[in-house]
């Protein structure tokens, strides 16, 4: 882990994360915005405790980075093992997570510990845990509660000491209500929960992250580090960032490549033009006229008439 000083605030990164194909989502996170500072306090309170943690946040917002920080602050001596649940094969999910004994499959002369066994003594990070098939969710809960796993083809369970940190971009309570997520596993994860706000909700973090990515890519490309103009700073802070930190990184990388002077300008960011307040009102009026009920259209016309008289 490394801590950089950006705008007088610590920036959390894990440079080694980029070397692992399982960890390409972990990029950078800052704690400048008040919501981020509150999140860091909650994180540091949870990290030393021997409980599972559920992180909820949008895709690209930095959930894996939080999970890695929890592992580092927990003083667990084992590995941090990151697994994307959406990439687990439904056919071999048992073997991938819990391992298999020698001879269980054709050509398997040796046994394998699986992701759970690999994280023994450390932390198992399950990204998008809601993508796990229900039967595997039940076995996962049993492994966590009993502190043991039974490998595919094995006759005896093996003891394990694993801390689970899971992440999701959806509301798992709704998945439970729909019968798509195991209720007991949901409650098991309930003791330690963290909400990672989207980047648009952490406006105070945007410029710090932009400066960080600008420095990283300038160094990689052997370029001088340009300044971000005031107009470009405003454009960055006003953008809604549907792709979160990952999108910001791509925008800064692009801007560095296309800028020609010593300053990043708004046109270098290639961001969509933000509509004005009047343009947004015009769009909403057009939608009501096109798809609204007769009563809604009548009420809208009356409102517009009053506005005309006022103006």
Span 236-241, average pLDDT? 94
**Closest to 62 (Cα-Cα) out of 115, 12, 2:** 12
Calculate the average pLDDT of the chain: 83
Architecture of domain 2-195: 3-Layer(aba) Sandwich (3.40)
User: Would you say the C-alpha torsion 234, 240, 241, 244 has a positive or negative sign?
Assistant: positive
- Span 32-53, pLDDT tens digits: 999 999 999 999 999 999 899 9
Give me the phi and psi of 300, to 5 degrees please. Answer: -65, -45
| Spatial separation of the C-alpha atoms in residues 119 and 82, rounded to whole Å | 9
pLDDT range class, residue 129, cuts 50, 70, 90: very high
CB 206 within 8 A of CB 238: no
pLDDT range class, residue 280, cuts 50, 70, 90: low
- Span 59-100, pLDDT tens digits: 999 999 999 999 999 989 999 999 999 888 888 888 888 887
Higher pLDDT, 124 or 1: 124
Question: Among residues of the chain, what percentage have pLDDT more than 90?
Answer: 56
Q: What is the pLDDT of residue 5?
A: 43
User: DSSP assignment, residue 273?
Assistant: P
Q: What is the pLDDT of residue 240?
A: 93
Higher pLDDT, 26 or 302: 302
Of 131-140, 150-159, 286-295, the one with minimum mean pLDDT is 286-295
Of 44-58, 145-159, 201-215, 283-297, the one with minimum mean pLDDT is 283-297
Res. 13: pLDDT tops 80 = no
Span 124-135, average pLDDT? 94
Res. 10: pLDDT tops 70 = no
Domain ranges of the chain: 2-195, 199-269, 283-310
pLDDT range class, residue 297, cuts 50, 70, 90: low
Kindly state the tokens that stand for 111: 């046994």
Q: What is the pLDDT of residue 311?
A: 57
Architecture of domain 199-269: Orthogonal Bundle (1.10)
pTM: 0.78
Q: CA of 108: how far to CAs of 6, 103, 104, 156, 281, in Å?
A: 50, 5, 7, 19, 64
CB 210 within 8 A of CB 245: no
| Spatial separation of the C-alpha atoms in residues 35 and 148, rounded to whole Å | 38
| Spatial separation of the C-alpha atoms in residues 256 and 239, rounded to whole Å | 18
């Amino acid at each position: 882990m490394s801590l950089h000083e950006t705008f007088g605030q610590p920036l959390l990164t894990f440079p080694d994360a980029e070397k692992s194909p399982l960890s390409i989502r972990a990029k950078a996170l800052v704690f400048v915005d008040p919501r981020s500072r509150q999140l860091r306090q909650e994180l540091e309170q949870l990290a030393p405790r021997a409980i599972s943690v559920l992180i909820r946040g949008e895709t690209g917002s930095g959930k894996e980075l939080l999970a890695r920080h929890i592992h580092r602050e927990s003083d667990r001596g084992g590995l941090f093992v990151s697994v994307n649940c959406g990439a687990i094969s439904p056919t071999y999910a048992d073997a991938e997570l819990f391992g298999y004994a020698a001879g269980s499959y054709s050509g398997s002369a040796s046994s394998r510990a699986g992701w759970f066994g690999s994280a023994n003594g450390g932390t198992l990070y399950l990204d998008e845990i809601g993508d796990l098939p229900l039967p595997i969710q039940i076995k996962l809960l049993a492994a966590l509660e009993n502190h043991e796993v039974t490998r595919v083809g094995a006759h005896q369970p093996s003891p394990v000491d694993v801390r689970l940190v899971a992440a999701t971009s959806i509301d798992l309570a709704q998945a439970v209500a729909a019968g798509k997520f195991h209720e007991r596993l949901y409650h098991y994860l309930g003791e330690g929960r963290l909400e990672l706000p989207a980047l648009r909700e952490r406006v105070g973090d945007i410029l710090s992250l932009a400066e960080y990515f600008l420095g990283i890519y300038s160094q990689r490309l052997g370029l001088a580090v340009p300044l971000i103009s005031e107009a470009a700073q405003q454009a960055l802070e006003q953008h809604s960032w549907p792709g979160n930190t990952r999108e910001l990184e791509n925008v800064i990388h692009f801007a560095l490549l296309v800028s020609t002077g010593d300053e990043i300008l708004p046109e270098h960011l290639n961001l969509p033009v933000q509509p004005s307040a009047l343009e947004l009102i015009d769009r909403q009026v057009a939608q009501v006229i096109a798809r609204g009920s007769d009563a809604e259209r009548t009420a809208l016309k009356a409102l517009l008439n009053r506005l005309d008289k006022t103006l």
